[in-house]
Amino acid sequence: MSEPKNKRQKREDYRAALRANGVTELPRKKFYRQRAHANPFSDHSLIYPPTPEQMDWASLYPHYAVEEPIEQKTETTESEESTGQELSAPAIRKLTKQVEVADIGCGFGGLLIALAPVLPETLVLGLEIRVSVTQFVEDRIKALRVQNEEQKLYRNIAVLRANTMKFMPNFFNKGQLNKIFICFPDPHFKARKHKQRIVSTTLNSEYAYVLRPGGIVYTITDVPDLHEWMVGHFNAHPAFERVSVEEQEADPLVEIMRNETEEGKKVTRHNGQKHVALFRRLEDPQWPEDVSA
């Protein structure tokens, strides 16, 4: 990107200063802008654990870390060649509970922050592919934790830079989540770019993998065709069924999703329409052999 050096420098100075400051001040958005799209297919220098077990969750949710770090041995190489050469990996502190709610493409984090007090017993994670947007949310959460130290608020939310289209299984085990939010996803209008959409027949299988049966996918968009696309693809997927409108409207999180994401607020300001659809993860079907047996 061809932007004046000094501008970038300013942002970096600002962000560094903010962090050095003991983070009591809320970050300002203008210092975290970044181009609108990141190509989910390219090799970003992403950091992700090889397996969910190797994820250092304690650094994201320090207040939920168990006291004793668990000595982590690397997988024992059973080949005789390397017996006696096992190194123990840096100790990873486990959490007292697992992340159960994910906000995919969380943007500037409005939904996370609104969910924090509403789901006080639940760990909620925002996943965002853009670096400086992620940084913004991280600084925002840090500041909020400090500002609300006494009420112990915002300790149950965190953000992570990740490309969810490739690396969800690196973070979450099978059936670990019970809610996934997909709010105002990038529309990718061009047919040629539809493979970049965050909802597709093949990606829905991955959402089904990380969700436990009974878990819910929440979707919202202001683009009618994208709404239809998402409804079409989830309805067509054997692992999902659409949640009825009554049940949808009875879910308090739906109203929060409508009003609390940055994108949602923008749409409100423009008196736009918001299309909501929820889908329930069904049990896996029986194996064909078991059915015929």
Ligand X SMILES: C[S@@+](CC[C@H](N)C(=O)[O-])C[C@H]1O[C@@H](n2cnc3c(N)ncnc32)[C@H](O)[C@@H]1O
Please identify, using beta-carbon distances, which residue of 27 and 185 lies nearer to other proteins.
Answer: 185
**Smallest separation (angstroms) from other proteins to the CB of 124:** 24
Catalytic residue, chosen from 103, 139, 186, 222, is 186
Sign of the dihedral defined by the CA atoms of residues 75, 80, 83, 87, in that order? negative
Residues that constitute the known binding site = 105, 128-129, 163-164, 183, 261-263
Between residue 139 and residue 168, which ones bind other proteins under the rule CB under 8 A?
A: 165-167
Residue 186 appears among annotated catalytic residues: yes
The half-sphere exposure of 140 on its side-chain side, counting CA atoms within 13 A, is: 24
Per partner kind, with CB cut-offs from 5 to 8 A, the member of other proteins, ligand X, none near residue 137 is none
Tokens of residue 268, six digits: 């409100």
- 68, 81, 121, 150: which one contacts other proteins (CB under 8 A)? 81
Q: Which residues bind ligand X (CB under 6 A)?
A: 38, 40, 105-107, 110, 127-130, 133, 162-165, 183-186, 198, 261-264
Binding span for other proteins by CB under 8 A among 9-17, 42-50, 140-148, 149-157: 42-50
For the chain, what is the HEC assignment? CCCCHHHHHHHHHHHHHHHHCCCCCCCCHHHHCCCCCCCCCCCCCCCCCCCHHHCCHHHCCHHHECCCCEEEECCCCCCHHHCCCCCEEEEECCECCCEEEEEECCCCCHHHHHHHHHCCCCEEEEEECCHHHHHHHHHHHHHHHHHCCCCCCCCCEEEEECCHHHHHHHHCCCCCEEEEEEECCCCCCCHHHHHHCCCCHHHHHHHHHHEEEEEEEEEEECCHHHHHHHHHHHHHCCCEEECCHHHHHHCHHHHHHHHHCHHHHHHHHCCCCCEEEEEEECCCCCCHHHHHC
Q: Are 92 and 66 in contact (CB under 8 A)?
A: no
CB 51 to other proteins: min, Å: 4
- In the annotated binding site for S-adenosyl-L-methionine, the residues are 105, 128-129, 163-164, 183, 261-263
What, of other proteins, ligand X, none, does residue 41 touch, CB below 5 to 8 Å by kind? other proteins
284 binds other proteins (CB under 8 A): yes
> Which residue among 24, 59, 96, 201 contacts other proteins (CB under 8 A)?
201
Which 113-132 positions form the footprint of other proteins (CB under 8 A)? 130-132
| Smallest gap from residue 260 Cβ to ligand X (A) | 9
**Site stretch for other proteins (CB under 8 A), options 17-25, 77-85, 94-102, 109-117:** 77-85
Size of the site for other proteins (CB under 8 A): 79
- Which does residue 78 touch among other proteins, ligand X, none (CB within 5 to 8 A, set by kind)? other proteins
Please choose which of other proteins, ligand X, none residue 201 contacts, taking the beta carbon within 5 to 8 angstroms, the exact cut-off set by kind.
other proteins
Rounded Cα gap, residues 27 and 182, in angstroms? 24
Residue 133: name its binding partner from ligand X, other proteins, none (Cβ under 5 to 8 Å by kind). Answer: ligand X
Catalytic residues: 186
